[in-house]
Structure 1
Amino acid sequence: MVKSKILYQGQKHCELIHEPSQSKIETDAPKDNQGKGERFSPTDLMGAALGSCILTTMAIVGERDGIDLRGSQASVEKVMTDAPRRIQSLRVDIVLPAHLSPDQRRKMEEVAKHCPVKRSLHPDVETPMTFIYQEI
């Protein structure tokens, strides 16, 4: 179990502290919801968490299977909806090395679709993924 501590700093800013490492992240409300958009919003972090989880989970499998994924990237576009305000979709573009074989590509794509963050999202949150293979 991992604990995080969240400190409200005023002006819709929060400081998040990862207790084991003491690393910090700051958040702000987005411009379209009464904030200044000066930092990640909490829902931005959901998208970033999905992209990070996909790459991390693929790296775990890749290291186990001798697949070098250095330089891989993910880009996440968050789309919000109103009534109620929530994340409608997290569109993910994943860039992987062109040298991966067809079997390695299938494996990495399957791993991405089943990362823990993806599996924790409500089924109403759409998570389309595009895989791009290029020289990295």
Structure 2
Amino acid sequence: MATSKITYNGGLRTTSVHLRSGNEIITDAPVDNKGKGEAFSPTDLLATSLGNCMITIVGIAAAEHGFNIDGATCEITKIMAEGPRRVAEIIAVLQFPANNYSDKDKKIIERSANTCPVFYSLHPDLKKTISFNY
């Protein structure tokens, strides 16, 4: 079964539907590439997917090891390059709620985040700068 269906709406905007759930995501071309920037751009989604994946995998690991990361956040900054136009760097800042995480918990968090499927799926030349704040 297909994962999603994408429709071009015109005006450099798309709607993507997750076929299993029916949830939708709208994208716009960014303002630096002839768009309105009124929604995530496709490259925003690429960068954001890294943060979503990291925090989800950390959540799974935390549950398996008996600690909680509810309320954790991940702020993503995407840096573009030219020639060819591409994402050159993704900066991810993971912020965890005050919880007195043990050194073991922190190792589990960091190992989990840095081994998520999206991290491994991105080209090795794409710079990934990850920081953890506890």
TM-score band (shorter)? over 0.9
Q: Alpha-carbon deviations, 1:81-116, whole Å to 9, x = none?
A: 000000000000001133110111011101111100
Structure 1 residue ranges (4+ consecutive) displaced by more than 6 angstroms after TM superposition: none
Q: Show the counterpart of 1:105.
A: 106
Unaligned 5+ residue runs, structure 1?
A: none
* CA distances 1:30-53 after superposition (whole Å, capped 9, x unpaired): 000010101000000011111110
1:58-69 correspondence to structure 2 within 5 Å: 58-69=58-69
Deviation of 1:2 after TM superposition, in Å, equals: 5.1
Please give the TM-score of this superposition, normalised by the length of structure 1.
Answer: 0.95
Count matched residues: 133
- Aligned residue for 2:109, secondary structure, equals helix
Partner of 1:26: 26
TM-score (norm 2): 0.96
Percent identity over the alignment? 39
Any stretches of 5+ residues in structure 2 without a counterpart? Answer: none
Matched, 1:122 2:128: no
**Mean Cα deviation higher: 14-23 or 90-99:** 90-99
3-state SS in 2 of match to 1:14:
strand
1:1-136 correspondence runs (5 A): 3-98=3-98, 99-133=100-134
